[in-house]
Amino acid sequence: MNPAGRPLRDMLRGLMSIKRHERLWEIAAPLAWVARLEAGFVTGAMHTIDGGVAA
């Protein structure tokens, strides 16, 4: 989520450990890794990609 409106963006940024919004490749790279054969042994895992919001 990358809100365009400044008030919402600033409020959400205050909740983040990393004080910026994601870049497209930061979301795409982990998803691409999970789809590769090298990740075939990873089962039933949850990988949260949220910039530290849930930390």
**Rounded distance between C-alpha atoms, residue 30 and residue 50, angstroms:** 12
- R_g over Cα of the chain: 14
pLDDT tens column, 7-49: 887 887 788 888 877 888 988 998 899 899 988 888 888 888 8
Domain layout of the chain by residue ranges:
1-55
H or E element: which one contains 24?
helix 24-35
Look at the alpha carbons of 41, 18, 54, 32 in this order and tell me if their dihedral is positive or negative: negative
**Rounded distance between C-alpha atoms, residue 8 and residue 38, angstroms:** 38
**pTM of this prediction?**
0.58
**Rounded distance between C-alpha atoms, residue 55 and residue 52, angstroms:** 5
